[in-house]
Structure 1
Amino acid sequence: MGKTTTLLLFLLVLLCHGAMAIPEGKEDSLFLMHSPKRVVKTDAGEMYVLKTQSGCRRFLDRHMHIGFITMEPKSLFVPHYLDTNLIIFIRKGEANLGFMYDDELVEKRLKTGDLYVIPSGSAFYFVNTEEGQRLHIICSIDPSTSLGLDTFHSFYIGGGANSPSLLSGFAPAILEAAFNETRMEVESIFYTELDGPIMYMDDSRVPSLGTKFLQLEKEEKEQHLKKMLLDQEEEKEEEHQTSRSWRKPLETVFGKVNEKTERKNSIDWSVAKNLYDRKPDFRNDYGWSKALDGGEYPPLTKPDIGVFHVYLTAGSMVAPHVNPRASEYGIVLKGSGELHIVYPNGSKAISTEIKQGDEFVVPRYFPFCQIASKDGPLEFFGFSTSARENKPQFLAGSVSLLRTFLGPQLAAALGVSQYTLRRALDPQDEAVILPPP
């Protein structure tokens, strides 16, 4: 049964001419991610997001956004939560991450190469404590879990006028009673103008909600995060005036006890996974590749996202292949090269140069390959739309589908003799990552 399914997939890729309408227009407008949208911008850092091109979404099993966060030294991304699952990858630098997990505050030190999954609705913050290094984070954002159709929402617990705190929407009298503080203290914290959601932790500046928060002991931080969120939920239940958009994230964090216990027993959300420390799944003289799925890192099963990391030496290529289980979203980390994608009807979808900083999308089932420039290596990282093992089907190389199905049937399908086909396939002894021509 498995071989029959694979053969049908192979024949679909090779022989399905005219099976779908090919969109008109500039080819790279579909599979390269353009037009970044800045969602946060302050002196201390920024966050921008790239979305899948609308014309490409018809080919995708799921579409996601790719986010990029940059934080200056000694800065804070204030406590907040999102209405979407978030997978973060520490590209450069180190960060302190505070994260609410089963009503407890987990504080972790993340280093370059670390992956971490933050479920939707879970409050968190980042701190770049390094003196002389910017923090660079790449993240996947799944809009399918969001309250909006094609976006995501940040709910800031602290942030000031430029990015209002959730609590600033309540009257001072309510916060005065909720926190058992004086009116002056409440107004000085929640109603002062701050620098936005990413702010410097400079002691020479007027203390903000963020700086005061970080000066607290761990137990006090935990209680403040709980109280801030729970007070909002209680106010909503009493007055029924808060938007329906509050309910989903809050129920995610403070769900029923049995749901929380089941989640805790099945997945340990407090664990990070370092991608750089992991040994390659495949390696030869021409490069290596790594793929991380939910079997090895269970937190990935919640957003149902996989992760991959590939390195190619100068001139080498990932053999043309098909992903039968997931679409891929790739980010070029270093170097330059080429990206080639083919429609299932055999026509060219894209053939373009790629360089450091470029982002691309490869739909599920579409044949494709990446080739490193002859001038130097190519390194790219990305996310796939399934936490299951992907098991790519290669169309060239020593472990290709053509070699697996080498016989009179395949030769007849290609219109050549079996001898001619065998002679064409035998010279390539390498697999997965192929040498330069």
Structure 2
Amino acid sequence: MGNRSTLLIMLLILCHGVSMTMGICDVEDQVDNSSKSDKLFLLENSKSMVKTDAGEMRVLEGYGGRISDRRLHIGFIDMEPNSLFVPQYLDSTLILFVLSGEAKVGFTYENKLAERKLKKGDVYQIPAGSAFYLSNTKDSKKLHIICSIDPSESLGLGIFQSFYIGGGSNPVSVLSGFQPEVLESAFNVSESELKKLFTQQHEGPIVHVGHSHSKASSLWTKFLQLKEDEKLHHMKKMMQDQEDEVDIEEVEKKASWSWRKLLESVFGDEIENKKRDNVAHKSPHSCNLYDRKPDFKNSYGWSVALDGSEYSPLKSSGIGIYHVNLKPGSMMTPHVNPRATEYGIVVKGSGRIQIIFPNGTNAMDTSIKEGDVFFVPRYFAFSQIASSSEQLDFFGFTTSSKKNKPQFLVGATSLMKTLMGPELAAAFGVSEDTIKNILNAQHEGVIIPTQRDTLVETNCKKNELNFLEMVPKIETIMT
């Protein structure tokens, strides 16, 4: 028995050693391969998931290796004026951020239909499995949305899987596969009516809405024009309308509204307006990132973050949000995120990003521009630098809904400044006076000017002092 126990312990130690070795080798392989690519932490080659004349959804697949604590995909939704992303549900949670334009999102909450209007800067969460639709009701302005896609609940059938509720030949409704007798019983309508319901739509998942477009898209147009309570009222009325003999005009009218019976079955029965108001009041609200006071701001830029304690839907999804603006020639000092992996999207301007491996070697040093997407693994040190000619503006997601609390390694309020003393001096092999002189030279923190700008500013101040010292001598000579 004792020999068996000893053998088991040795086996466990051996397995642990193998796993540790695999982890170390994995990092070493990345270090070796880092010289082969200067874009190791850039997400490239986006996939077009949906594309029609009315809009497009593109997705960049997140990294899921050992060095990433959690995988996220980054999506971009672009919609033309007067367009609709048809009702559906996903196997992944979405967090929407309205980059520009205005949107209206309709969604299910406690089996009821609720709607929210979203404007530029708004953040909104759509949980996995929740039926929703998205519309751009503006006549002349495009809608641009950045979203995070959490695949943790995904079926694994791709980046994510859409289940379209409304649809025809394109997209195909998730209900189309059921046998006719099943759908006839479920809807309590004839097979001919169901055939009209499931054959009208052929323009794709994002459709134009408005009088100038096709008959199929006009079905969605009429729906969007109704008030919220009228939508449910009309759907209930159509469910109760079982007349056998109607004229052709009435048949066409019923056909144009028949798909709403489907929404009725999904979204629930009509209730009193007062109760619906209560549901709308209780349903998740949006939060505007631009209405918040920056967490940090100085002459060189600002940053703002949103976490689960400030917007509760983020707490359930475990996602945080941030936005940073660096003025031309400024930078975020080298820092590390101890709680989360960071995904960033450059929304304006250009600059550089440097990311460092744990062994102190350079993992990536590359230029970034508008539209680029990068990610920084948890614990990895990194720095973003704006170009000298234009600002660097980037928005992003973090894989934790708790306050991120980044650790800035250098600067007036940095980790090194806190650790300043004989121990830190000994670690660098220099005197304590030397380390103090170096660390006290930087008077700015978090967002600072680049060295070139700092030297120019210092030289200007020196020249100004020299000139002031010369003033009395010049006055003496003049008199």
2:367 to 324, 329, 353: 353
Q: Which residue of 2 aligns with 1:326?
A: 340
1:316 to 330, 338, 348: 330
Q: Which residue of 1 aligns with 2:68?
A: 60
Deviations 1:28-55 (A, max 9, x none): 443000010110011110101001246x
1:112 to 99, 108, 120: 120
Q: How far is 1:229 from its partner?
A: 7.8
1:39 and 2:49 aligned: yes
Larger Rg: 2
1:30 to 37, 40, 46: 40
Q: Read off the aligned partner of 2:113 and give its amino acid letter.
A: L
Q: Which residue of 1 aligns with 2:450?
A: 436
Find the aligned partners of 1:29 and 1:372 in 2 and give their Cα distance.
18
Q: Which residue of 1 aligns with 2:19?
A: none
Find the aligned partners of 1:383 and 1:194 in 2 and give their Cα distance.
35
After TM superposition, the structure 1 = structure 2 runs for residues 26-425 of structure 1, keeping only pairs within 5 Å, are 26-53=36-63, 57-148=65-156, 151-204=159-212, 205-208=214-217, 209-215=219-225, 217-219=227-229, 221=231, 228=262, 269-425=283-439
Count of residues in correspondence between the two structures: 389
Unmatched 5+ residue regions in structure 2? Answer: 1-23, 237-258, 269-277, 452-479
Contact 1:280 1:288 in 2 (8 A): yes
Q: How far is 1:27 from its partner?
A: 3.1
The structure where helix makes up a greater share of residues is: 2
Q: How far is 1:170 from its partner?
A: 2.2
Q: How far is 1:213 from its partner?
A: 3.9
3-state SS of paired residue (1:187)? helix
Residues 215, 192 of structure 1: CA spacing in aligned structure 2 closer, same or farther, 3 A cutoff?
same
CA RMSD of aligned residues (A): 2.6
3-state SS of paired residue (1:302)? helix
Q: Read off the aligned partner of 2:175 and give its amino acid letter.
A: L
Find the aligned partners of 1:187 and 1:19 in 2 and give their Cα distance.
56
Q: How far is 1:331 from its partner?
A: 0.2
Unmatched 5+ residue regions in structure 1? Answer: 1-16, 233-252, 255-263
Contact 1:315 1:372 in 2 (8 A): yes
Give the TM-score of the pair, scaled to structure 1.
0.83
Deviations 1:59-107 (A, max 9, x none): 1100100000011111110001111111000011001110111112111
Residues 290, 412 of structure 1: CA spacing in aligned structure 2 closer, same or farther, 3 A cutoff?
same
Q: How far is 1:230 from its partner?
A: 9.5
Find the aligned partners of 2:359 and 2:170 in 1 and give their Cα distance.
50
Find the aligned partners of 1:22 and 1:283 in 2 and give their Cα distance.
39
Q: Which residue of 2 aligns with 1:10?
A: none
Residues 395, 342 of structure 1: CA spacing in aligned structure 2 closer, same or farther, 3 A cutoff?
same
Structure with the bigger RCO (C-alpha within 8 Å, sep 6+) is 1
Q: Read off the aligned partner of 1:365 and give its amino acid letter.
A: Y
Paired-residue identity, %: 54
Find the aligned partners of 2:157 and 2:209 in 1 and give their Cα distance.
35
3-state SS of paired residue (2:291)? coil
Deviations 1:288-331 (A, max 9, x none): 00010001111101110000000011100001001000010000
Find the aligned partners of 1:207 and 1:63 in 2 and give their Cα distance.
38
3-state SS of paired residue (2:189)? coil
Q: How far is 1:269 from its partner?
A: 4.6
3-state SS of paired residue (2:148)? strand
Contact 2:61 2:159 in 1 (8 A): no
3-state SS of paired residue (2:436)? helix
Q: How far is 1:268 from its partner?
A: 5.5
Find the aligned partners of 2:88 and 2:59 in 1 and give their Cα distance.
17
Deviations 1:315-360 (A, max 9, x none): 0000100100001000001000000000111000000000000000
Q: Which residue of 2 aligns with 1:21?
A: 28
Q: How far is 1:180 from its partner?
A: 3.0
Q: Which residue of 1 aligns with 2:272?
A: none
